[in-house]
Structure 1
Amino acid sequence: MSVVTICHRFVVANALTLLYTAKALLGILINIVINPFKNPWANKLNLVPPSNLTDPKYGVHKYIKVNDIKLHYVESGDSSKPLMLFLHGFPEFWYSWRHQIVHFNKDYRVVAVDMRGYGDSEKPDGVSSYKIEYLVDDIKELIRALGHEKCILVSHDWGGVIACKLRETYPEVLHALIVLSSGSKDVWFRQIWSTNEQRKKSGYVFMFRAPIIPELLLQMNNLQYLDSLMLVKGKDTITKEDIECYKYWFGKQTGFTAPLNYYRANFSYSWEENLYGENVPFLLAIGENEKYISHSSQDLMKTRYTTIETTTVEKSGHFMQQEEPEKVNKLVRDFLQKYKL
């Protein structure tokens, strides 16, 4: 990658960050003008978790120290069975896998973790604490700390980015990998820097690089952002009660800072073109109505992994495991049965 190319991308990235941040500030200003006597950040702080978060049907809440950080996770199923580990995305936490926990816990030891900075897991200070190398090592060490050499890894969004990097770095810890609404970090940034489509779809990524403003925008009006992001008209698989579970954690004063640091710590102007040929069964699924990831990224993913299979989940958006749980559960089960896992 030439110095000229890197400098050009640096200028473009910062210009887009300024542009999308200006739009965010304009939105905040308009909101204040429309509601001059209302503090948009006077959110109700819930001290008691919503009942869904403590429902025993989802399993037992536990904590574990790995990679010098304390992680919270929810475990369900027989501990002697194969480990099925779930990695959530942004802005989620273990609860985004609720439909999968109750479906797979009869056949697997199911563990849904809050990744560092999320939910009830530890939130180290500083942007650099969220570099992808640390995030990957968290998961590698978690698998071993749970007493397993390998796991079936199911991931979504940022969880998928981390899962792809884990597969590239430590393929020996995986029986199989399922990635939903995501892709590898390298493919993501290749698409951002090579296509206008993905650059537009990733406008929020540039805005999230800015300090403070993203947090203010996301926490406005009792975290209305979460309602607009996750609730799907005509579907009841994600309810207002579910959204309250997300607001419980993200409504805290610094609830969004650590998750946003994933974007700030891992923004890149370049990518690698490596091919990974280890025989790890790999399924990549993207929703038909995906708003944030270009469908063309599936073809690029095939150029990086020799064992990858791709599919599209019909009538589903970005949060497919919550929006279309029956379709996703069947997709995962059929894939695992194919490999007798």
Structure 2
Amino acid sequence: MVEHRMVDVNGIRLHVAEQGSGPLVVLLHGFPESWHSWHRQFGPLAEAGYRVVAPDQRGYGSSDHPEDVDAYSIFHLVGDVVGLIRALGEEKAYVVGHDWGAPVAWHTALLRPDMVRGVAGLSVPPPTRPKEPPLVTMEERFGGRFYWNYFNRPGVADAEFARDTRTTLRKFFYSASGDAARSGEVKQPLVDPDKGWLDSMPDPEVLPEWFSEADLDALTESFSRGFTGALNWYRNLDRNWELTAPWQGARVTTPALYMYGDRDVVPAFPGTPELIRKLPALMPNLWRDPVELAGCGHWTQQERPEEVTSTLIEFFRACA
């Protein structure tokens, strides 16, 4: 059974869900999610002999939501993972992340390889520091319409998403899923800054089979305090670029796994398909070639829970 508690970490309190015993596995969610996005992995991973822990990351759910935008830098986020591993009485962990959780997982392995048995990223590939700040780059490439730039406008997306939290989340989860992308065409996530994003998203009459009304209930409750903390992660993109200058050209050297859906918009971001093709050459300990899940959209571990979980278990055992 999944148990819940609060843990003091890195100067804040994190809500964590936990099940099982054995080597520690830390599961890091993305946007706009919570620990619940991993609920289908808990039982199988615990039964396979692992201690599974998924936090609500800072700014999400029942965890603390620092007010200062600067409190959401990549160093803070990695510090939370390092502090969590220590607070759980462990020295090392398998670290797995999806969406925004993936950069946190990758950077944990990059900055603290001594604490990472193996790292897995879903949707977002390992970091390569670009020549220019990402928000500046996307502002120029898409005329300010890329969703990162929309999120960077103080209070704007916060207000749009909070008007009807349940509808916001229902639209997000359907529109980025493999179900909505049946045509196979993956479009860049562009937003009219004057109209907002939600009006352009389809609103399904029936949820996909993998995403129940109960899942939507849990997610809606987790955003009862609004979206600002979660959006503050995006508002640090250029700051993260500045902070990680010392790691320009550095590579993740711990055993690594990358999985993504072929209908996910993130692997289609500018420059990302080329990066994915180069990963086997860039990462000395990449376990297998990148794993592509046919017909899968952005919500990797929720849309394909059995495939993701079984692949993770196989990867963990290969790392042991």
TM-score, length basis structure 1: 0.74
Q: Does the CA contact (< 8 Å) of 1:275 and 1:306 recur in 2?
A: no
Residues 1:152 and 1:188: Cα distance change in structure 2 (over 3 Å)? farther
Give the secondary-structure state (helix, strand or coil) at the position aligned to 1:308: coil
Whether the 8 Å CA contact 1:187–1:297 is kept in 2: the answer is no
Q: 3-state DSSP class of the match of 1:293?
A: helix
1:245 aligns to what? 218
Q: CA deviation at 1:110?
A: 0.7
Structure-to-structure mapping, 1:287-326, within 5 angstroms: 287-294=261-268, 295-302=273-280, 304-309=282-287, 310-326=290-306
Against the structure 1 CA distance between its residues 114 and 161, is the aligned structure 2 distance closer, same or farther, given a 3 Å change threshold? same
Query: Aligned equivalents of 1:193 and 1:91: distance in 2?
Result: 19
Q: Which residue in 1 is equivalent to 2:28?
A: 87
1:275 equivalent in structure 2: 250
Q: Is the alpha carbon distance of 1:137 and 1:195 closer, same or farther for their aligned partners in structure 2, counting shifts above 3 Å?
A: closer
Shift of 1:187: 5.0
Unpaired stretches in structure 2, ≥5 consecutive residues: 180-206
Q: 1:218 to 1:296 in 2, by over 3 A?
A: farther
- d(CA) in 2 for partners of 1:61, 1:334: 27
Distance 1:130 1:286 in 2: 25
Is the counterpart of residue 227 in structure 1 residue 170 in structure 2? Answer: yes
8 Å contact kept, 2:27–2:55: yes
Higher deviation after alignment, 184-193 or 101-110: 184-193
Summarize deviations over 1:296-320 as a string: whole Å, max 9, x none.
3313545653212422111111111
For 1:336, the equivalent position in structure 2 comes to 316
Following superposition, the deviation at residue 185 of structure 1 comes to 4.5
- Aligned-pair CA distance for 1:220: 3.2
Q: Is the 8 A contact 2:134 2:238 kept in 1?
A: no
CA contact (8 A) 2:77 2:104 kept: yes
Residue in structure 2 matched with residue 206 of structure 1 by the alignment? 149
Q: For 1:296, what is the secondary structure of its paired residue?
A: helix
* Equivalent-residue separation in structure 1 for 2:160 and 2:44 (angstroms): 36
SS in 2 for 1:136: helix
Following superposition of structure 1 onto structure 2, how do residues 56-71 of structure 1 map, counting pairs within 5 Å? 57=1, 59-71=2-14
Answer whether contact 1:273 1:304 (CA < 8 A) is retained: no
Which residue does the alignment assign to 1:74? Answer: 17
- Residues 133/166 of structure 1: CA separation in 2 closer, same or farther (3 Å cut): same
- In structure 2, relative to structure 1, the CA distance for the partners of 1:221 and 1:144 (3 Å cut) is closer
Seen in structure 2, the aligned counterparts of structure 1 residues 229 and 67 have a Cα distance that, compared at 3 Å, is same
Letter in 1 for 2:112: Y
Letter in 2 for 1:316: C
Q: Deviations over 1:112-168 (max 9, x none)?
A: 111111111111111001011111111111111111111011110111111111111
Q: Tell me which residue corresponds to 2:45.
A: 104
1:299 partner letter: R
Counterpart mapping for 1:157-172 below 5 A: 157-172=99-114
Equivalence for 1:134: 76
Letter of the aligned partner of 2:50 in structure 1?
A: Y
CA spacing shift, 1:301–1:187, aligned 2, 3 Å? farther
Q: Output one character per residue of 1:170-209: Cα deviation in whole Å (capped at 9) or x when no partner.
A: 001011111101134545787968998xx66x91111100
Q: Is the 8 A contact 1:177 1:282 kept in 2?
A: yes
Shift of 1:273: 3.9
**Equivalent of residue 149 in structure 1, options 85, 88, 91:** 91
- Which amino acid in structure 2 is aligned with residue 210 of structure 1? R
Moved more, 208-217 or 308-317: 308-317
Q: Tell me whether 164-173 or 307-316 shows the greater mean CA deviation.
A: 307-316
AA at the equivalent of 1:313:
L
Separation in structure 2 between the aligned mates of residue 321 and residue 138 of structure 1, nearest angstrom: 22
In 2: Cα distance, 1:209 partner to 1:186 partner: 22
CA distance in 1, matches of 2:226, 2:234: 15
Change (3 A) 1:330 1:292: same
Residue 67 of structure 2, aligned match among 105, 120, 125: 125
C-alpha spacing 1:222/1:119, structure 2 compared with 1 (3 Å):
closer
How much does 1:284 deviate? 0.8
The normalised TM-score by structure 2 is: 0.78
Partner AA of 2:262 in structure 1: E
Change (3 A) 1:290 1:188: farther
RMSD of aligned C-alpha atoms? 2.7
Higher helix residue share: 1
Taking every aligned residue pair, what percent have the same amino acid on both sides?
30
For the pair shown, the structure with the greater C-alpha radius of gyration is 1
Q: Distance in 2 between matches of 1:132 and 1:222?
A: 26
